[in-house]
Amino acid sequence: MPHKLIAAQRVRPALPIIPASLHTALALWGPRVLGAAVSLIGLLVTMQLYLAGQWLFALVALLVVCAGLFVYMQARSSAWRFLFPGLLASVLFVLLPIAYTVSLSGSNYSSQNLLTFGRATDYLLSTRYMPEGAQRYNFTLITDGKAYRAVLESEAGEAFMSERFTLGGLRKPVPMKAISGPIADHAVDTARLIQHLNTLRALVLQLPDGSTAQMSSLQRFDASRPLYRQNADGSLSNQQDGSVIRPNHQSGYYETSAGERVPPGFTASAGLRQYTTLLTDQGLREPFLKVFAWTLAYSLLTVALSFGAGLLLASLLSWQELEFRETYKLLYYLPSAVPGMIAILIVKMMFFTNTGEVNTVLDAVFGIRPEWFATPALARTMVVAVSVWLYFPYMMMLCLGLIRAIPADLYEASALAGAGPLANFIHITLPLIARPVLPVLIASFASTFNNASLIMYLTEGGPSYLDTREPIGMTDLIASATYNIAFFSGSNFGLAAAISVLLFAIVAVLAFASLRLSRSRGFMD
């Protein structure tokens, strides 16, 4: 048997041995080649972003590539190689969105002011009008060898054909001659027309009477003319009525001498105007202050009631003599196991006025059917009740863990002293869990402060305020009101961004307070 093993080992093929020089070359040049390839890809992405007009994102991509090269290609920065991905993710997904939101709050960006100033100007300069008596023509593009000819047919039946021309490099009008009838041989198909659409839009055809025609649609040319002409001072002259419009970088529109705005609007710097509007505009300030007060009350009530309910249930479930304790824990934790959107929609149907189970019970017992979604006080009561129902299982499990960490000797000594369950709760349980649970309560307060999904699924913010020009409801929290301002009724993204910055500042202060409490010596003790 040993002889067979020795023989097998002798015939086993030897593994290839990498020469030392090749191993050294791979160790030396492998990272450099990989780094060069990644850098080339990053530079290509940067170039594409820059060519697409996204210079800010191109600058960010370039900075990322340069930082990656410095970290991974320098021996003295090896300690940062494991930290760089996390730092990069923090910059891209945390700091950059925050910076973008802050910059957006300093602009008039909205659904009416989406374009940049240059694009708004180009749009107005591309606007055309039809002079009196101008003709419209059916357009056909035909091939003539490697060149093309354009054929126009007027509504009166007159036909014209152009000279031979090539697509691209056309700097002057192409002359047309009258013909006896339209020639459609070798006509270019629609797919090819679309392929050359940008070039055809620049094509100017000069008719025998001296008028010109340009493309107005894929198969139509007409004798329209540019509506605006740009002047040396940046204003635009209306060639149809002779009026002049000038850009107003405060309103973000071109305006006439009478102050009338000419769409489309463009994005302009607003400075602190969004913040001052939020605090000084009567139609926005009062509803916003009401929403802020309601958000504060909702967060306090939700955290206090859910913590109270969770602590009470945790104290009861910690009683060793209680049978089926694990079953009760499972039943109480079920609201957290169901997806939030599904749970909220199911509870919403339970509060329907005519078909909901809640009103069915109230009607049977008290003979009433409250309007939960139409009455402000009832709608807010429903929101708080549903929020507490969703939050208390988390508080219950948290308190169960904290109560379990309390030494049993304390309760035994209290029992020997003749203290009852209520005295144990007040003098032992509550003081010992109050300090470690306080940072969690602050974090929960910040979470409920930002809870827009509950309002969006349950009440949609209703009932609405009638004295505001923005879509704000009486059950709206700041987060849900910001969402409505950003995506409904004018889509005022700049104002929504200003509210988001203020909301971020509030939540950041709460998070900082929570961290300080967590790190305090009293908590550690």
Side-chain-side CA neighbours of residue 294 (13 Å): 26
Residues 65 and 61: their CA atoms lie apart, in Å, by: 6
pLDDT of residue 261: 95
pLDDT at 522 over 80: no
pLDDT of residue 455: 94
Going by C-alpha positions, the residue among 307, 348, 354 that lies closest to residue 455 is: 348
**Total of domains in the chain:** 3
pLDDT tens track for 94-103 = 888 999 899 9
Burial of residue 120 (number of CB atoms within 10 Å: 0-12, 13-18, 19+) = buried
pLDDT at 399 over 60: yes
Going by C-alpha positions, the residue among 98, 100, 46 that lies closest to residue 68 is: 46
| CA quadruple 45, 50, 52, 56: dihedral sign | positive
What is the CATH classification number for the domain harbouring 84? Answer: 1.20.58.370
119 located within any domain? no
Confirm whether pTM is higher than 0.85: no
502 located within any domain? yes
pLDDT tens track for 228-258 = 999 999 999 999 999 999 999 999 999 999 9
Helices 20-51 and 55-73, axial angle in degrees (round to 10) = 170
What is the CATH classification number for the domain harbouring 159? Answer: 2.40.430.10
pLDDT of residue 31: 64
pLDDT tens track for 4-59 = 444 444 445 544 555 556 556 555 565 667 777 888 888 898 999 888 878 888 89
What is the CATH classification number for the domain harbouring 494? Answer: 1.10.3720.10
Residue 422, domain extent: 279-524
Shared-domain flag, residues 316 and 386? yes
15 located within any domain? no
**In which residue are the tokens 């392929």 written?**
195
257 located within any domain? no
Alpha carbon dihedral 235, 236, 238, 244, in 10-degree steps, equals -10
**pLDDT interval class at 183 (50, 70, 90):** low
pLDDT tens track for 102-159 = 999 999 999 899 999 999 999 999 898 988 888 899 999 998 888 899 999 988 888 9
266 located within any domain? no
What lies within 8 Å, CB to CB, of 140 at 6+ separation is: 150, 151, 152, 153, 182, 183, 184, 187, 188, 219
